Each structure stands twice: as structure tokens, then as C-alpha cells.
Structure 1
Amino acid sequence: MTISKIISRFRARARDFVAARSGNVTITFALATIPIIGFTGVAVDYSRANSARTAMQAALDSTALILSKEAQNLSSGQLNQKALDYFKANFNRPEVKSIVVTPVFNAPQAGSFSLNLTSTGTIDTTFTGIWQPSITIGAKSQALWGMKKLELALALDNTGSMSSSSKMSNLKTAAKNLLATLKTAAKKDGDVKVSIIPFDTTVNLGTSYKNNPWFDIDSIDCNGWKSGTGCTSSNWKNYWEGCVRDRTYPYDAQDNAPNTSVAATLFPVYDCGSLTTLLPLTTNWTALNSKIDAMSPNGNTNVTIGLVWAWHSLTPGAPLSEAAAPATDLDKVIIILTDGQNTEAWKNSNNTKVTGSSTIDARTKLVCGNIKAANIKIYAIRVINGNASLLQQCATNPTMYYDVQNASQLNSVFGAIAQNLANLRLAK
């Protein structure tokens, strides 16, 4: 057979094949399944990648929060290693390989810090492996925190009712945990200072202040608190245990320093009972914890005096001078906790007790307003009992008021406040 005949026969067979119609559906379906399978494979691979990426983002966010607590004190090498260690501890996706975590710590301005984290990894593909052996995934996270200094006053109800329903024991546990959180949040000594102001109807300064010219000698009534002991207005310092009552209106609700030329600014002295002494602002965490341990419930309630002495502890100058002057990089905060109605105060202008709750509440409301006007934030905690409306109004805003119905909740409440005070937030 000649070559020309072979070519002619091939052409004829080709024409017959093109013209044929039998089996077209099978061929068409077979060809169509190729892209269908391909698209399905792509969807499966990318779904796996997205799931891994979501887990990576969560792990990176956790790493940013944990690492920010110590980033300021780490070298570059330590920062890199801890970032990778923390990330791997939170990321349990063995299919992701070649993991890289890159931390960048910055201090864009005084008192402000940022930690930027990026992570990448690869995940092997299955269906798309022919043209794409792996998919690269990544995540970014940023932790920002303000290193504002903090001065915190704890005005804590030490009245008799705190002995019921395990309130005092739960308060001590919660307060100590708050101190522990703040100690950790303090990146260096002096960043966080705390004062503790136990109160009933009085506040106990301690006798170390007795030689200061702050006290209202004319109001001294030894017969009222040291009857039969030989106490007089001239030798009262020998008998005084350190407690003071409300100053004369309006100074009972103000922060004015005592002034011997203005008698109403002086502090009337009184008996202490079992009330422990206040502790001015300090960074001595051992002393703070010991003061919490020393608290003992007894006596009636005067929220006003607890608040005003917390305020005194946060301002420089007499009677308590440990506080710093107001500054843009300094937060001043009071936590007031009470479990009861106002039951007893002191009207120093005529040396009489005030027992009407509404009258005392008005003084409390006034001092709350004065404190907030001085740019001091107030957290208010009501434990089971007390004037809820008064304390809600006292708090700087509604989110800073806590109504505790069971004393066991105090730990979580103080924990939430401590975290807020630590001022750490996940920005991205």
C-alpha cells in the first residue's frame, strides 16, 4: 500500500470519528468531572488552611497577652524564644509546619508600650498538591498597654456586719488577690502604690500623728471615750489610740488640709475600739497584705469618713503626704466597699452623733461628687446590704458599680477590677 493511500485512509477514519455521535455523553461527563474534582479539592484544602489560620490567630492573641506582662524586661533573644514557646503551648495543630513567630516590642511614647506579633506556617495540601504542594498561612496580633502609674486607695468597711456571711474572710482573700495582680502589673517599683483605709464610724490614723497640730482640742471629751481613766483635754495624747471622727461641715466631705487658723478643718479625736490603723500609700506589698490580715469587724457604719480619708491618702500634703501631684501619666482610683446602710456619723460643730441615714447619705453623696470632680475614679462595691442607689451614683460610671449578692463573689469582682487597673487590652 502506497503512502498516499495510507494517508487517505487515515483522513477518512478521522472524518468518521468526528462525525460519530455514539458515546458523547460519557466522554463529556468524563471531561467535566476533571474541573469538578479539582474545585472540590481546592475547597477542602483551603477549608483546612482557614481552620488552621483561625487556631493560629487565637494562639497568637493569647501569646500577645501573656508575653506583654514581661516583654519590657526581656532581651531581644529572650523575647523571640518566649514568643515561640508561648505560641507553641497554645497552638495544637501538628499539620502546620515551618512555624515562625516574630515579636516586635516598641515604646512609641513615654508610658505607652506595644507588642506586635506575626506568625506564619505552612500546611501540606492533598487534592491540589500537583500544582500547589503547600499553603502558607499567617496571623497578626498587637497588645497595647499604658504604663501609667497608679495610686489606689482601698476604703474597706470594717463594721460589725462584715463578720456575717463570711464577708470579711472573702474580702481578705479578694483584696490579697487584687494586690497580687497589681504587683505583677507593676513593671517596676513605684509604678503602683496602694493605701488601705479600714473604717467604721471613725478612721484610725495611729498614734504616730499625735504631735501634729491637726486635732480639734475643743471637741475632746475624755468622758465620752476614756471615762474614769484620768484623761483630760491637756493630756489626751497619752490616752488617744489614733482614731478621728468627721470634721465640721463642709470639711467632712472635702480634702482641705488641716489649718490651725480654721478650726473647722481640724480633726476631732475619738476612741478606736478594735479598728486597725490605716496604711498610707506604699509599695510595700508585705505590709499591705499584713494590713488586710489585721482587719477585724466591729462597730457602726459611716461611708463618708472612709471615702474622705481614701481621698486624703491620694493627695499630697497633710494629713497624708505620700501621694504624688496629679499628672497625665498617673491614675488615682478609690475602691469603696461596704455592706450596710450609713448608721452613725459625727456633727462636730455641736459635738453630737448623727444617726439619721438620709442625713449621712447626703454627706456621702457630696464627698463622692467632690472626689470625682478632683479627677479621681471610684469603684463602688455593695456586699449584700447597703444603699444601692447611693453607691451606684458614687461610682464613676455604671460599669464601675458592683452589687455582690454572695460574699464568695468578691474574689471575681476584685479580679475584674484588678485587670481593669492593669490597663492591658488586646488592640488587634
Structure 2
Amino acid sequence: MTMPKASLRTWLKAGSVLRRFGARDEGSTTPIFALCAIPLVFAAGIAIDTSRQSTARVQVQAATDAAALAAAAAYGVGSENYTAVANAYFTKTVSQFPDLASASIATNVSVDTANNTLTMTASGAIPTTLTRIGGFDTMPLAAANTSPSGGGGGGGAGAAATGGGTSSGGTISSTVSLPVFSDHHKGQIVLVMDYSSSMDEYIGGKKKYITMRDEAAKLVSNLSQNQTNQDVEFGLVPFSHAVRVTMPNNFYYGKTGTSSSTYCIDDRNYPYNLSPDTPSTSTTNNASKFFTTSCSYFSSKNLNVRALSLNHAGTVSQINSMTPYGNTHIALGMETAWHLLTPNAPYAATVNEEETLKAVVLLTDGQQTSPGNGPNNILSVAQAESNLEEQCRRMKAAGIRVVTVSFDLSDTLTQNRLKDCSSDNLEKKVAAGEPTPKYYFNTNTNEELASAFGIIRDSLARNMYLSK
């Protein structure tokens, strides 16, 4: 404990008074004894408050460790409220210690998605007791460059400490690993990514599609456990005003034959565009077939639908090679994703004997701008929006997990539609005290999108692990 200059001057003045009293024979002994008691009390106060500081440091470290583990568990099930969870655990823990009742403590929670860690910090000071006579009203929780006894969070609740607790300059911290599941787990995940022209715009000094691309590639690598897990398949649906597919000719409107060709398609006739049913291959019944449409530049920009695949390196390679072009047809992207997840032709997804998580992760930065097919040959943007709502309702009823992300999207109606589309509005059965999973994310910065993808990654990993 370092004595402030003002207190040092007070102490020197007190020493001068003592010397004057000692030089006078007629001085009363009572003031002398009183002044002599000051350093004794102050010394005792230093001992007491130093002990209190050490105890408080251990107590706050314990609270920080518990809060970090709780936050990591919340993050792992997809909760955006992991900071609130951390603060609630911290407050509950410190409330058990009387010496901390009047302490001034600030907390902070941060997530490092690159290193897959979460850090909880607590900083502040506690009031002193007897050392107040020397001008010390408070003392920091932790002295500089010290390591409190009992520091370091242990593993638990799906998280493990990665370096233990530390303290420096009044700040105590605890860093824990976010949940990672090493067991192989089964999943079929389709990434539905908006590659309309607006994704070529800049946000925070970086093009939006590049942030989306980087986070999507990272998600595939993480969930495939660095491309080693052959129990999880990934599909890609890059969409703008159309999607570019490869399938047998007899699934396209007006075409025949079983040899495969690549075309851009629009959504099917209503109500076929609301289901993943196999189109008729009859030459006399074209009502359920896919309409082809023009899509110049889709090929050069590599905007190709990729069926579910175990070739994770190929999936990441395609994600890294795609660039934006065109308008926005969200409903068409979801319609195509549903086809990829079913055992029906033309994509015929594999059916696993074990329970498999089927999930769609949809990201868009804009409103629906392309028209959709409706009843009585209605063709409008409003119909496309209605189609998306019905598609999502049916997909969730079929057991598909729907995760939606809005990125730099200012339209409230579209935000609400994406939230309703997600699995957020399904009843979620969670144990008492556990955080509610999160399936819709409204992001406006590159950092928020990275955080959202980290939560999505851990939530899907947990879901696949529990599905095994």
C-alpha cells in the first residue's frame, strides 16, 4: 500500500508536534499518548485492511470464475444474453460476502471468436477501515502484478479455464474456453447466403459479403472439426434474384431427358413453391417443374447451389470464391434450401439411421425485391414475402432448425419477418435456470456478425451433439 503525499505531509506534521511535546517538561502526557497511538492504530489498520484486501480478491476471483463459466454455457446454447447471465451470477456470488456489500465493482464480458474464449473481468475498490486515519478511504481489489490465491476457473458447464484467473491494477479476470464438442455428431446444415449487389457495399471498412464469407467458412471449419468430421454435411444456397442449380433436364419446365444441365431458376408455381415435393417428370405435366431464368454473370461469380456434401474443403473453397450480383429473392433461397435437406429428388439428401440435426442458416442484408408466385397466378413482392413466412412455418413443423441473421438491415418489417421465420418462436423446453436458445440475430457491424456466427456455431454443435 503506497501512502499518498497528502497523508505523508500529515504524518510528518504529527511527528513535529510529537517532538515539540517531548521537548517541554510541563506538557501533558495525555496528548502525547494520544499522538503515539496514531501510528499504532494506523499500523494495525494496514494489517487488517491488507488482510481484507487479500480476502476480497479471492472472493471476487471466485465470483468472476463462476460468472465466466455461466456466461460460456449461455453462449454455447445460442443466448445473446450471456453478459446478463454473467452479471447475475457475479452479483449473486458477491452478495454472500459482507465485506463486498459496499464495494464499487465494474464488470465486463468479452468473446474472442478467433481463439474460442470468453473473458470476464471485475475491477474496482473496497472501502478501508482503520487506515482511513491516514487518508486511505479505499483500496483496489488487486494490487498491480499480483496473482490472487485461489484464482483460476475450473472446467464445468461445458467450459474450461484456459489460463486461470489473474489480477492487475485493481482488475481481476477469468478466461474460459467456449464449449467445443470433440465427439463426432450428425448434422445436415444448409447456408442460405444473400449475394445480391448490396452485399458488395462496405461496412466498417470491409465489404459485407467478405465478412459473411469469412464467418461462414469459419463455421464450416469449426463444425466439421477442421474438416475431419464425416458425420456432418454442408450445403450452400447463394441467392440473389435467382439461384443456379444442376439437375436432370426433366425437372426443368419445358425440357426433357435425364441428362443433367445447369440453369438459373425462379420459384415454382404456387403452391409447389411452398414444399420440397419432387417435381413431376412427365412431358405433359409441367405445373410442378422449375422455371429457368436468365442470370448472366452467375457462373463467373461461382454462385452455384451446392448439394449436401462431406467434402468440407470443397465447401469452404466455394464460399471463398463467390461474389455478389443481382437483386434479392429470399423466399427462393429458402425454397431451394428445403429441397437440399429432403430425400426427395432432385437432390435426394441421405437419410441417416441415427437422429440428425437438419438446419438452415439464412443471412440477408435487404428486403425482398423479387416477385414470387402466388394463387391465381399472382406475381408480386408481397406474395414472395408471404411465401417465405409459410415456407418457414412448414420447415419448422418438419423438424428443421431455422436460424436467421439480418446484417445491416434497417427495415423493421423484414427484421420481424426473419425473427418469425426463425425457430425463436417455437416453444423451447429448457431446464430451470438455463438460458433460452437464440435463433434470430439482428447485426449491424462486422463485430456483431462475428459474434452471432460464434453463437450459432456453438449452438448447432451442442444440438448435433445432443442429437447423437
Residue 56 of structure 1: how far off its partner (Å): 7.0
- CA change 1:163–1:288 in 2 (3 A) is same
* Structure 1 Cα separation of the partners of residues 71 and 327 of structure 2: 44
- CA change 1:175–1:328 in 2 (3 A) is same
Asked if 1:152 is matched to 2:189, the reply is yes
- Secondary structure at the aligned position of 2:404 is classed as strand
* Structure 2 Cα separation of the partners of residues 104 and 293 of structure 1: 35
Q: Which residue of 1 aligns with 2:50?
A: 44
* Structure 1 Cα separation of the partners of residues 443 and 151 of structure 2: 46
* Structure 2 Cα separation of the partners of residues 326 and 114 of structure 1: 30
* Structure 1 Cα separation of the partners of residues 268 and 56 of structure 2: 66
1:228-275 deviation line (CA, Å, top 9, x unaligned): xxxxx568979x532222222222011223344785443333433222
The TM-score normalised by the length of structure 2 is 0.55
* Match of residue 243, structure 1, among 264, 267, 270: 264
Q: Which residue of 2 aligns with 1:129?
A: none
1:8-32 deviation line (CA, Å, top 9, x unaligned): xxxxxxxxxxxxxxx9999999999
Asked if 1:267 is matched to 2:290, the reply is yes
* Match of residue 405, structure 2, among 369, 372, 380: 380
1:269-293 deviation line (CA, Å, top 9, x unaligned): 3433222211122344442333234
Q: Which residue of 2 aligns with 1:210?
A: 248
- Secondary structure at the aligned position of 1:287 is classed as helix
Q: Which residue of 2 aligns with 1:190?
A: 230
Residue 141 of structure 1: how far off its partner (Å): 8.0
Asked if 1:171 is matched to 2:192, the reply is no
1:70-89 deviation line (CA, Å, top 9, x unaligned): xxxxxxxxxxxxxxxx9xxx
Q: Which amino acid aligns with 1:158?
A: Y
The TM-score normalised by the length of structure 1 is 0.59
Q: Which structure 2 residues correspond to residues 255-334 of structure 1 after superposition, within 5 A?
A: 255-260=276-281, 264-275=287-298, 276-322=303-349, 324-325=351-352, 330=357, 332-334=359-361
* Structure 2 Cα separation of the partners of residues 40 and 28 of structure 1: 19
- CA change 1:330–1:92 in 2 (3 A) is farther
Q: Which amino acid aligns with 2:371?
A: E
Q: Which residue of 2 aligns with 1:200?
A: 240
1:306-345 deviation line (CA, Å, top 9, x unaligned): 0011122233342223455596563523223242333223
* Structure 2 Cα separation of the partners of residues 40 and 335 of structure 1: 60
Residue 197 of structure 1: how far off its partner (Å): 0.4
Report the structure number with the largest CA radius of gyration.
Answer: 1
* Structure 2 Cα separation of the partners of residues 296 and 179 of structure 1: 14
Q: Percent identity?
A: 17
Q: Which structure 2 residues correspond to residues 399-410 of structure 1 after superposition, within 5 A?
A: 400-404=439-443, 409-410=445-446
- CA change 1:30–1:157 in 2 (3 A) is closer
1:79-133 deviation line (CA, Å, top 9, x unaligned): xxxxxxx9xxx9997544898979679xxxxxx9665899799xxxxxxxxxxxx
Q: Structure 2: where are the runs of 5+ without partners?
A: 1-28, 73-116, 122-141, 167-173, 426-437, 463-468
- Secondary structure at the aligned position of 1:154 is classed as strand
1:332-388 deviation line (CA, Å, top 9, x unaligned): 2322324233322356x99x7x64221221111111211222232221325446633
Q: Structure 1: where are the runs of 5+ without partners?
A: 1-22, 67-85, 106-111, 122-138, 221-232
Count, aligned residues? 338
* Structure 1 Cα separation of the partners of residues 336 and 231 of structure 2: 22
* Structure 1 Cα separation of the partners of residues 213 and 320 of structure 2: 10
Asked if structure 2 preserves the Cα contact closer than 8 Å seen for 1:152 and 1:334, the reply is yes
Q: Which residue of 2 aligns with 1:14?
A: none
Residue 51 of structure 1: how far off its partner (Å): 1.7
Asked if 1:370 is matched to 2:370, the reply is no
- Secondary structure at the aligned position of 1:196 is classed as strand
1:394-414 deviation line (CA, Å, top 9, x unaligned): 233285444455xxx245314
Asked if structure 2 preserves the Cα contact closer than 8 Å seen for 1:153 and 1:334, the reply is yes
- Secondary structure at the aligned position of 2:273 is classed as helix
* Structure 2 Cα separation of the partners of residues 192 and 168 of structure 1: 31
* Structure 2 Cα separation of the partners of residues 327 and 272 of structure 1: 39
* Structure 1 Cα separation of the partners of residues 160 and 441 of structure 2: 32
Q: Which residue of 1 aligns with 2:449?
A: 413
- Secondary structure at the aligned position of 1:319 is classed as coil
* Structure 2 Cα separation of the partners of residues 120 and 162 of structure 1: 41
Asked if 1:393 is matched to 2:417, the reply is no
Asked if structure 2 preserves the Cα contact closer than 8 Å seen for 1:247 and 1:268, the reply is yes
* Structure 2 Cα separation of the partners of residues 244 and 56 of structure 1: 58
* Structure 2 Cα separation of the partners of residues 377 and 179 of structure 1: 19
- Quote the RMSD (CA, aligned, Å): 5.1
- CA change 1:116–1:200 in 2 (3 A) is closer
- Secondary structure at the aligned position of 1:151 is classed as strand
